[in-house]
A = this chain, B = another copy of it.
Amino acid sequence: MERLEEVMRELRGFVAEREWEQFHDPKNLAMAVASEAGELLAEYRWVSNAEADTYSMGDEQRRRIAAEAADVGIALLLLCDRIGLDLIEAIKEKIMLNRRSYPVEQSRGRWRRPS
């Protein structure tokens, strides 16, 4: 079994044991994704772009960042599971769309969508 499937199975068990499915409708889980993303964001709020890579390597910061990234991932996986969406499949499709929206030649070194 893939590691992602394994972790998904663990998450389902964690939620079921606590009878938390009642709180986990897609609206609440989308809120969980966004509030956890806000906490991840808070880690980098006052750190400059130039310092952000080094900052991420500090032991204490790394532990916190890993925990926040995990929280976002957990909420996102629970949401996808709840609505029967295969996240990996959705990402593959989005990459295909992005290839069309950002053609290599017009997008090289530029972050704006070509108009």
Which A residues form the contact surface with B (CB < 8 A)? 2-4, 7, 10-11, 14, 17-20, 22-23, 25-28, 30-50, 52-53, 55-57, 62, 65-67, 69-74, 76-77, 79-80, 82-83, 85, 87-88, 90-95, 97-99, 102, 104, 107-109, 111
B30 & A44 in contact (Cβ 8 Å cutoff): yes
Which single member of B53, B82, B99 contacts A25 (CB below 8 Å)?
B53
Given contacts A27-B48, A65-B83, 15 further A-B contacts (CB under 8 A): A7-B91, A11-B91, A14-B95, A18-B107, A18-B109, A20-B109, A23-B111, A26-B65, A33-B72, A34-B35, A35-B39, A38-B38, A69-B80, A73-B87, A74-B94
Q: Chain B residues near A46 (CB, 8 Å)?
A: 23, 28, 111
**Bound CA span A52–B22, Å:** 12
Q: Copy number in this complex?
A: 4
Q: For residue A113, give the distance in angstroms from its CB to the closest CB of chain B.
A: 11
B27 & A52 in contact (Cβ 8 Å cutoff): yes
